[in-house]
Amino acid sequence: MAFDPTWASVAELAGKIRARELSAVEAAQHFLARIAQHGHLNAFVALDPEATLAQARAADAAIAAGTAGPLAGVPIAHKDIFVTRDFPTTAGSKMLAGYRSPFDATAVARLAEAGAVTLGKLNCDEFAMGSSNENSAHGAVRNPWDAARIPGGSSGGSAAAVAARLVPAATGTDTGGSIRQPAAFCGITGIKPTYGRASRYGMVAFASSLDQAGPMARSAEDCALLLSCLCGPDPDRDSTSLDRPAEDFGRQLDAPLDGLRIGLPREFFGDGLAPDVRAALDAALKEYEKLGARLVEISLPRTELAIPAYYVIAPAEASSNLSRFDGVKFGHRAAHYDDLLDMYRKTRAEGFGDEVKRRIMIGTYVLSHGYYDAYYLKAQQIRRLIADDFQQAFQACDLIAGPVAPTVAWRLGDKAGDPLANYLADIYTLPGSLAGLPGMSVPAGFGDGGMPVGLQLLGNYFAEARLLNAAHRLQQATDFHLLHPPL
């Protein structure tokens, strides 16, 4: 039987292309054809086959010359929050319609240096603000397991594209759970590294103290390959980049889990967790016990404070970051205005969507005179206490496990009129984000309606290799990551 790239992992594709059993051009053409067949998912917002095939030809030439990188010829796609020279970047917003960056984001450049071939840009919630991918100016992305449901957000296009096998892997960003939650809802694997591990240079900023890039792929093994290329210091271009060298995150994938202590926060398994999600998680945790891990109960007592703290801090930073979009330097500008102030007002009213406007107004309010100490400063103090809770917990365990979201993916439009309901869906991912910890989502079965359930794994700072090891061993014992929607 002929090799079908559709179902191949990143590692398998890289091996086939390097062995010249499949050319990078053939791989790119194959996935471009799949993207064209499944446009109803609305996962891609920008394609340029000529640019893609030019990159593929360069990858084939590098392989022939013996100078190819570890991802040579592997097709990937980027969340539309990363700026790219060869493709437009809109951040899912009318405000940046038609914008083309003169440079590539560091994440894009590093994967290109490793030989990856870019298929295009992927749909996302506007400026990465959302949990459902319904806030995009390009329209909602559809979940490939059920096109009437959301794929999760804000990296919903990335998750849907990988789940539908339109691309072997993709980049995403995680501010409060935007890699982990869509990965869970679409049945794929995604990892957010420790804050500062991956450069934020060239990521259109939402909340600078929270935003972090990471890979989304079928398996932990694939994520380890991509993360090893993505991470590393970038001090000249990102002041929040950590001075910590790149490493091989797949170095201990096959290590046994004997004696691994997995903490289960009692606050994550309360009444708010849907029974179908709980059942899938319980089954996955039993697999860990079979693999030699030990489950221990822990507490993260300030979990319920994560939502109010996050939705003060993130909008405050967004109101500052998005002030640059004023119609002067780049992006949308109102066609008719009376003076400079009127141009600012009309440009921002026309260019920003409702959710972005909501968060800008909240952020501006909590930073205003008389409210800074009462809201923003207090939220930062709570953030510190949440981080302390994790450090206390890690004295009793090596990793923390729990749900990614309280339910499986909901139907499109179900929460569109209730922003708070969307915010509450982030309750399990926000604590780790506020603490800057690495975290990932691993396919763990299915819930109501046959929809995927993700198991969240959280580690202490710089524990990415251990997280990937735990995820990989679970994936060796189960086949959930190999299952795909019937497309």
- Residues labelled catalytic: 79, 154, 178
**Secondary structure, 3-state, the chain:** CCCCHHHCCHHHHHHHHHCCCCCHHHHHHHHHHHHHHCHHHCCEEEECHHHHHHHHHHHHHHHHHCCCCCCCCCEEEEECCECCCCCCCCCCCHHHCCCCCCCCCHHHHHHHHCCCEEEEEECCCHHHCCCCCCCCCCCCCCECCECCECCCCCCHHHHHHHHCCCCCEEEEEECCCCCHHHHHHHCCEEEECCCCCECCCCECCCCCCCCEEEEEECCHHHHHHHHHHHECCCCCCCCCCCCCCCCCCCCCCCCCCCCCEEEEEHHHHCCCCCHHHHHHHHHHHHHHHHCCCEEEEECCCCHHHHHHHHHHHHHHHHHHHHHHCCCCCCCCCCCCCCCHHHHHHHHHHHHCCHHHHHHHHHHHHHHCCCCHHHHHHHHHHHHHHHHHHHHHHCCCCCEEEEECCCCCCCECCCCCCCHHHHHHCCCCCHHHHHHCCCEEEEEEEECHHHCEEEEEEEECCCCHHHHHHHHHHHHHHCCHHHCCCCC
Terminal CA-CA length for the chain: 20
Phi, psi of 315 (to 5 degrees): -65, -35
The tokens describing 374, both together, are: 């009462």
- Rounded to whole angstroms, the Cα distance separating 318 from 206 reads 5
Kindly list the distances between the CA atom of residue 146 and the CA atoms of 150, 262, 275, 385, in Å, as whole numbers in the listed order.
8, 32, 20, 39
Nearest-angstrom CA–CA distance, 59 and 117: 8
**Taking a C-beta distance cutoff of 8 angstroms, is the pair 104, 112 a contact?**
yes
How far, CA to CA in Å, does 159 sit from each of 144, 187, 206, 384, 441? 9, 8, 20, 31, 11
